[in-house]
Copies of this chain bind each other. A is one copy, B any other.
Amino acid sequence: MTSFRAVNPHTAEEFGPEIQNASQSEVAAAIEAANAPLLSPAERAQLLRNISLAIESDRAKIVPLAMQESGLPEARINGELTRTVFQINTFAELVASGAFLDPKIDRADPAYGMGPRPDIRKINQPLRVVAIFAASNFPLAFSTAGGDSASALAAGCAVVLKAHPSHPNTSRAVFAAIQKGIADSGQPKELFSLVEGNDPQITHWLAEHPKITAVGFTGSGAVGKLLMELTAKREVPIPVFAEMGAINPVFVTPSAIAERNEALVKGAIDSALMGSGQFCTKPGFFVVPKSHAEVFLAEVEKYLSTLTVGPLLNKGIADRYSSTISTLTKLGSVKAISANTADAGLAVTPTFFIAEWQTVAANPELLEEHFGPTSVIAIAEESKFEEIASSLEGQLTATIHGTENDDVKGLLAILAEKAGRVIWNAFPTGVSVTAAMQHGGQWPSSSSHTTSVGTDAIYRFMRPVSYQGMPDAFLPDGLKDSNPLSLERLVNGIRTKQ
């Protein structure tokens, strides 16, 4: 197929214009035209603010499109636009501070301990032109102007954005706002370009082009691993920052159930079903203690029976979900509990699977990520919790629900080896954008130890360069003696604005 149209998940009907698949030469042309001008921190912060302003101004146009294409409710999409704009502004603030340049100056020292030291100065420089792959499940916050795009622009890179075919019209609307922000800042439109299509070859053309210096990706393990293979085989290999999902285990102690069973179950299920279970941080695996399993599961069954969830994002996800549920339902010694089925469009039946830990361990498909409204609840002796945690693969998040009297230090230490973010008495969905946030971590949840959420995401798209003995006039502004950008710098080991 050379073209496709958007689909409304509520009706499974196509709508909107035909979207043409980009050809190889169109992809190459976008990359070759890409242009990341050298901007001062203040100019780049202003560019980001202009982009966020333009997106906010188009809220009334973008939100209905994203709702129509994703099937997600208005409150969620409105919140996601707020988050998208906030995220860009957070990067603007970091960029304006200049802290992202991380300038370090070690002045010449003839008496240095290992022998005379020349003047050496280091600063971060952008990787130039990066390919970003939008995610399906956050049509705004992890898509066209999402965290990967915002952090790459903030770093000083030009972005070639592969739009997700699940929401092509939302992507176009956001792209138009980005272009308005770029134009309002007097910058070249080639700073950001959009590549459209559902042809899998587009992924190859982007990852293999010699001018691409890094890849940002949020999506399936299969595509993430393909990107790693493609980029490793290049004449010049490049980093791939792939966020590929996880089962985000949640361990529940007996005392947590004894203290707050109803609220705990409600929180757990609401988190698992949020966005119709299509979050990369969905708690897909709960471990509950045998001693308190009965009361916990009774509450699960009771609460689930009251729920109906919205449709899935696209037909591919809905088909894979139905096939998964059908497979898991046939497993022996596994109980399935379902919520209500909405009977329109891409709606499916939310289904939880319950089994003894031994059964889960014997059926590895229960420990895989399954996109959609499903989770696995394993029943185990509390004394087995550490052993279970040790047996798990790397995760984006890991959670403990307990009380402060619980002895969970051993479990916590194991989980901190497995996951990028460890959570206490809360749920992993709803990732805040802050300096301390870590979203990413251990394989196979992501391809590197970096984060794709929070301000540290910017460092994925920069590289340090040292200048030795360089005359002041030839140095980047961030390293000049007069400190014209008024940066806080590490000078001879001391943080100073001098």
Contacts and interface: CB of A to CB of B under 8 A. Distances in A.
A87 interface: yes
A215 to B, nearest CB: 14
Contacts of A473: 404
A432 B82 contact: no
A493 interface: yes
B449 A437 contact: no
A465 interface: yes
Contact of A112 (B232, B432, B470): B432
Contacts of A4: none
A408 B475 CA distance: 12
Task: Please tell me how many copies of the chain the complex holds.
Answer: 2
Given A114-B432, A115-B83, A432-B112, A438 B423 contact: no
B469 A426 contact: yes
Interface in A222-260: 228, 232, 236-239
Contact of A436 (B106, B408, B495): B106
Contact of A464 (B113, B236, B449, B470): B449
A468 B118 contact: no
A432 B83 contact: no
A190 interface: no
A94 to B, nearest CB: 9
Contacts of A292: none
B469 A424 contact: yes
A342 interface: no
A426 B119 CA distance: 11
A456 interface: yes
- Among A113, A404, A444, A451, the most chain B Cβ lie within 10 Å of the Cβ of A113
Given A432-B112, A435-B104, A419 B236 contact: no
A404 B471 contact: yes
B438 A466 contact: yes
A430 interface: yes
Contacts of A424: 467-471, 474
Nearest to A409: B474
Contact of A232 (B121, B125, B228, B394): B228
Given A426-B469, A473-B404, A437 B122 contact: yes
B104 A469 contact: no
Nearest to A451: B464
Interface in A103-127: 104-106, 112-115, 117-118, 120-122, 125
Nearest to A413: B38
Interface in A378-424: 394, 404, 408-409, 412, 416-417, 419-424
Given A86-B114, A117-B434, A239-B448, A468 B421 contact: yes
Contacts of A121: 436
Contacts of A449: 239, 463-464
Given A82-B115, A87-B114, 10 more contacts: A86-B114, A106-B435, A121-B436, A420-B463, A420-B464, A421-B465, A422-B466, A423-B468, A423-B470, A424-B471
Interface of A: 79, 82-83, 86-87, 89, 104-106, 112-115, 117-118, 120-122, 125, 128, 228, 232, 236-239, 394, 404, 408-409, 412, 416-417, 419-426, 430, 432-438, 441-444, 447-449, 451, 456, 463-471, 473-474, 490, 493, 495
